[in-house]
Amino acid sequence: MNILISGGAGYIGSQISYDLIDKGHNITIVDNLSTGSKLLVSAKADFYKCDIDNIKILKQIFKRKKIDLVIHLAAYISVEESIKRPRKYLNNNYYKTKKFINFCIKNNIFKFIFSSTAVVYKPSNFKLSENSLTKPQNPYGISKLLCEQFLIKKKNIMCIILRYFNVAGADLKLRTGPISNYKSTHLIKKIINIYFNNKKKLTIYGNNYNTMDGTAIRDYIHINDLSLIHEKCIKYLLKKKRNKIIIFNCGYGKGLSVLDVISSAKKIFNLKHNYGKKRKGDPSSLVANNTKLRKELKLHFKIPNLKKILISGILWQKNYLKKYKVENK
């Protein structure tokens, strides 16, 4: 199958592209490299450096290739930045997505997988199902929910909307992984960075959430399992004849607090931490009810523990720093 992946030079997109190439698919990637890296792109993928609203280059791609399905990942994803720059997120994540999807449909693409986020939900201390109330607490979540609503209104398309919970770890084959620096807002990536520079302390943003230990709770899913979900979704889309929009939660259904993650990290190295103020827009708890995903896609995860997720990230970063002679700043 010929698959176009927008944002395919990023952390998640590069993993999906490698795994789909392994399965015999032909992969084309478009990415403006604003947050991704050419270093993460498989040599077997066709890569185009361009934005998703660059109609001129998109026309060239569609003229040269018969694309069967689009996986749309390209987006800005920092909750913290979205609070400071809401217009940037609305423009890039929503308006450009509308333009991109409409162009694809105009060129006879009717099958899509869209990466959304658990941040679209109203925070709850209960597990969130796909029917749970959506009420984003930040502009990033709002931009993704607007995209979902746009896709749901579209006629004549088959689309799977995947609401990612917290994606973590790195490719077990060490081909790709997260490469962001200390500015990363992702907890596990921050911990891995500190592993390589243990002079730094981890700042926990808030210890007065309405949770058991006062720190935020998240549902962490390993990147390899998230990639597997996309592979299963492709097969699902091929089987379905009628037009349909379906939403799946992508998580293990197990909530872990920030202190739980730190406890696992301390089994690997002497991680020191302190407390800071809550970040505006950060929900207290986001945990998936993944029953629908497991039933529809016939998935049975072997849930890796946090220590294994952390070690996969450490091994990747060690390999990345050595292979590309990148300084761990």
Q: What is the CATH number of the domain that holds 121?
A: 3.40.50.720
pLDDT in tens, the chain (329 residues): 999 999 999 999 999 999 999 999 999 999 999 989 999 999 999 999 999 999 999 999 999 999 999 999 999 998 889 999 999 999 999 999 999 999 999 999 999 999 999 999 998 889 999 999 999 999 999 999 999 999 999 988 999 999 999 999 999 999 999 886 545 678 999 999 899 887 788 999 999 998 999 999 999 999 999 999 999 999 999 887 667 899 999 999 999 999 999 999 999 999 999 999 988 878 889 999 999 999 999 998 877 689 889 999 999 999 887 776 665 54
Please identify every residue annotated as catalytic: 140
Strands 26-31 and 46-49: parallel
Q: Does residue 264 form part of some domain?
A: no
Q: Does residue 255 form part of some domain?
A: no
Q: Does residue 269 form part of some domain?
A: no
The amino acid occupying position 297 is L
Give the range of the structural domain holding residue 159, as residue numbers without chain letter. 2-170+220-250
Q: Does residue 263 form part of some domain?
A: no
Q: Does residue 116 form part of some domain?
A: yes
* Integer CA distances (angstroms), 308 to 50, 304, 314, 321, in order: 35, 6, 10, 20
Q: Does residue 6 form part of some domain?
A: yes
Q: What is the number of domains present in the chain?
A: 1
Q: Does residue 146 form part of some domain?
A: yes
The tokens describing 26, both together, are 């032909």
Q: Does residue 329 form part of some domain?
A: no
Contacts of residue 51, defined as CB under 8 A and 6 or more positions apart, other chains included, come to: 32, 96
Cα 262–185–18 angle (5° rounding)? 95
